Chains A and B, each alone.
Chain A
Amino acid sequence: MNMNDFSATLLTCALGAYVAGIVGALLFQRAEKLANGVGFGLAAAGGVCGIFACASSLATGAATASQSFALFPSLIPYVRFGLRADALGCFFGMVVSLLGVALSIYSLGYVRGYYGHKNAGVLGAFFNLLLLATTLVFLADNAFFFLIAWELMALSAYCLVSFEHEHAETRNAGVLFFIMSHLGTGCLILGFLLLFQASGSYGFEGFHALGDKMPAARRNVVFLLFLIGFGVKAGMVPLHIWLPAAHPVAPSNVSALMSGVLIKTGIYGLARVCFDFLGTPPNWWGVTVLTLGTISAVLGVLYALMEHDLKRLLAYHSIENIGIILMGLGAALMFLHSGHPVLASLALIAGLYHTLNHAVFKALLFLGAGAVLHATHTRNMEDLGGLAKRMRWTTLCFLVGAVAISALPPLNGFVSEWLTYQSLLQGFGTTTSLIRLMFPLSGAMLALTGALAAACFVKAFGVTFLGQPRGDHARQAREVPFPMLLGQGILVAACVFLGLFPTVFLKLFDPLTRQLTGQQLSQQLTMADGLVLSGGPAQGGTVSTPGIALMLLCLLPVPLTLWALFARRAGTRIGPTWDCGQRGLTPQMQYTATGFSKPLRMIFKALFRPRREVQREYDFSPYFTTTLRFESHVEEVFQTRIYRPLRWLVLRASRRLRALQAGSLQAYLIYIFVTLLALLLFAL
């Protein structure tokens, strides 16, 4: 095999570590600490091996011409457990391994919260299983193995989501996730069957550039099937309804893994199908993906603004970021169609870099939310506050994550969104048809989401960490154990490095773009010895995140000097915060999350259709209320307009069909008999 022996060995080690983690965690179920340590320790080890395997494979360029190798021989015909670590697979493998390391270390501390009332060994086993299945999804080399790994991933994710199944909310979320996942898988199976029909074999090697040989109508059907199938997993609007239900109720390390990696399997699938399998795309594919991406981005962030459950807010932000990634992919498809491979590579790099960045900072945010949950036992922002003084390190990590997701320089979110802007803006000049208006429009929508995301994180960070505690839980919060801080710290370091040194990471994308679009862009995008990131040679802009960071550091002494020079002379007097002469500031005087987002709720009233209900009870005068009840609702458009009518239709049809279930044994036997006769007659 062409794949580097070193990488292959490491990869097998990683997979073996995951399997050992499953076995070990289940073996030591009774001894909780041992199960915790063994399970997550082996997962971390597997992650480290995976990072090195994939990174070395990408770096040495061996990934471009890799052959597949079978893990172990299989007795079943058509099914071959083969792995193929090509550039796209290695890149995503690296993402999952990096997240695996950070999350496993974090889990060592987080799972302590489950000692005594839940089985930590089972959590560890399923966690390892999920990591294993996801890695296999990225590296599988034939459709059967891919689907087996996909199903395994969905099942283990379901088990993890339903880990705290005592709550009805969790059970419902798990079931919804399960159903949506299988809807997607059904579409995937159909798509793969169509591809098999055209190619004659199930291997991905055989699918390469298959689309050019297929008739146009069939190709479009395949694209749509895969779009729906992978779109469900990625959380694309309107198939996203499971995301905000499932992510909040899962344990936080699982939420981080799901948000960081699971939804990226959808992106991997789309990239694989659109760029590897289906050849040169017609224009409407790119337009569709770009439109859906834009809608997902805007709607995701708008709904995030209205949430006051910390993890649900982050889940909606995942939808938003998936939209941004899809924008990059859609633009790349449009550029491929119009014959601009360089721009296509740029857009692809933007989308995939954002995948990596989102995995890192979203996982960081979820870990922070998990730390908050661990310390205060509540996800509701309206009960939190004042955690900055009580949980300093977690606050710092969450702040870094919030700055990264708001795409502020010099962190990583800024770099990938900047690249996306570059590709969109340069796209305007590629065609002369009206379609080119989509690019600036998408760019404008991206700017809107960026601003709204920043507003949302001001709310999330401010209400949760700043100010005064709004409840007892927040008041008694303590800093979380060290492993949790270490896990967050790893991701903070990743955010900072990915942001400050993007040109280094661009080299990793070379084999990827070479494989998918035939271009290699890292030379063109790097200027000034790697300090400056360029958006392409001709019309692209330039930005230098190390420069920005350096500038911030250099300018910092200026106000400090001024302060040192002049503040001494003026003297300082320390007094309490001005509180309008009241007896003292109470938590009730602070902004609530609902109040903070009210202006935006009113601006986007047409989308949200907010409903407000106030009920007050009083004895003798309405000015002296005894009980006050306040309810504020935002309509979930997709649930009420699309999914509920659909469900009603399905239920109505099945109620009609229920007439067939007469309950009589004879009737059932007659059904079977008649079918048998019909088949016999038909065979004649």
Chain B
Amino acid sequence: MDIGSHVITLMAALILVVQLLMTAQRQLPTSIRLFAIQSLLLAAIAAVVAYYHNASHVYIVAGLTLAGKVFFLPWLLNRLVQRIQIHQEIEPLFNAPTSMLICGGLTLLGYVVARPFTSLERLGNNTLPVALTLLLTGFFLMINCRKALTQVLALLTVENGVMLAAVAVASYGMPLVVELGIFFDVLVAVMVLGILVYRIRETFASMDTSKLNQLKG
């Protein structure tokens, strides 16, 4: 149990680091790679939890995360990037140091909010703060970056955070049906968003979503 707990804590910390790296990242392919790494870490956490609690359905969750979020989705997004031929993020809303500071603040907030729930003596209970942080920083990322593709990535990290919370806090993961549902939901969402990104690119010759201002009545 101890080793498992330590391993999980380590991986959670790494997830947090990856998230912060993604915040400061300007290159799109790198962002996608970082997202793949984050999802890999998440799958590993799920596997460890499944191993130590002998919950086989969490293995399925880990496997799905691996297949979908580590391989399939990054591949899909990379293909999109190649089609659009845009590799770099434009100037974000807040510059790098400021966004780092804000993310730090959000991490703090995540830990503070999760404190009442961490009294549970369970494996992986200290990942709840990380999960909340992922949620908040993912949201912040959506605001900060203006390229539609980066916003899709940020949404995916939010979903990662939610799944982390579910795996860690809920009874060894959410009911399988719910997990499957959310997974497929995310998959479809990304595919739809991919199409939308392409259309935005077509219409505005850029992925800058602030150009959508022109549509206001």
Q: Which residues of A contact B (CB under 8 A)?
A: 661-666, 669-670, 672-673, 676-677, 680-681, 683-684
Contacts and interface: CB of A to CB of B under 8 A. Distances in A.
Nearest to A680: B113
Given A665-B210, A666-B146, A683-B113, A673 B139 contact: yes
A673 B113 contact: no
A670 B213 contact: no
A670 B141 CA distance: 11
Interface string B91-135: 001000000000000000100110000000000000000000000
Given A661-B216, A664-B210, A664-B212, 12 more contacts: A662-B216, A663-B213, A663-B216, A664-B213, A665-B212, A666-B146, A666-B209, A669-B139, A676-B136, A680-B113, A681-B109, A683-B113
Contact of A684 (B113, B136, B142, B213): B113
A663 B216 CA distance: 5
A661 B215 CA distance: 12
B20 to A, nearest CB: 18
A236 to B, nearest CB: 38
Nearest to B135: A676
B182 interface: no
Nearest to B112: A684
Contacts of A680: 109, 113
Contacts of A661: 216
Contacts of A664: 210, 212-213
Nearest to A673: B139
Contacts, number: 37
B140 interface: yes
18 contacts: A662-B216, A663-B213, A664-B210, A664-B213, A665-B210, A665-B212, A666-B93, A666-B146, A666-B209, A670-B143, A673-B139, A673-B143, A677-B109, A677-B136, A680-B109, A680-B113, A683-B113, A684-B113
Interface residues of B, number: 17
Interface in B140-176: 140, 142-143, 146
A536 to B, nearest CB: 65
Contacts of B213: 662-664
Contacts of B112: 684
Contacts of A665: 209-210, 212
A452 B151 CA distance: 70
Contacts of A663: 212-216
Nearest to B145: A666
Contacts of B210: 664-666
Contacts of A676: 136, 139
A474 B216 CA distance: 54
Contacts of A666: 93, 143, 146, 209-210
A188 to B, nearest CB: 34
Contacts of B216: 661-663
Nearest to B132: A680
Contacts of B143: 666, 669-670, 673
Residue among A662, A664, A672, A676 with most chain B CB within 10 A: A664
A489 B103 CA distance: 80
Contacts of A670: 143
Contacts of B109: 677, 680-681
A441 to B, nearest CB: 54
A412 B173 CA distance: 73
Contacts of B146: 666
B103 to A, nearest CB: 13
A654 to B, nearest CB: 13
